[in-house]
Amino acid sequence: MARVRFIGNEPVTVPELGGREIQPDQLVEVPDERFDGYVCQTTTWEPVEEPGAAKKTSTKKEA
């Protein structure tokens, strides 16, 4: 799943995401195949993690 940030000024309901209410500055996971449909709306969404990007994980080594 890709991730985008909602950069609108007011909460919105997104039917494609199960009717969830999305708050300003909220990060949202979207299906990889729909990523472009969100980020093309440059005044509403911004990319955070593109489709297929490896998830960042902590790799602490214990002493």
pTM equals 0.78
Give the pLDDT confidence of 1-19 residue by residue, as tens digits.
999 999 999 999 999 999 9
d(CA 21, CA 4): 15
Instruction: Evaluate if residue 63 carries a pLDDT over 70.
Output: no
Distance CA 3, CA 45 (A): 10
Q: pLDDT tens-digit profile of 11-42? A: 999 999 999 999 999 999 999 999 999 999 99
pLDDT-derived band at 53, boundaries 50, 70, 90: confident
Pick the closest to residue 20 from 6, 41, 40, 34 (CA basis).
6
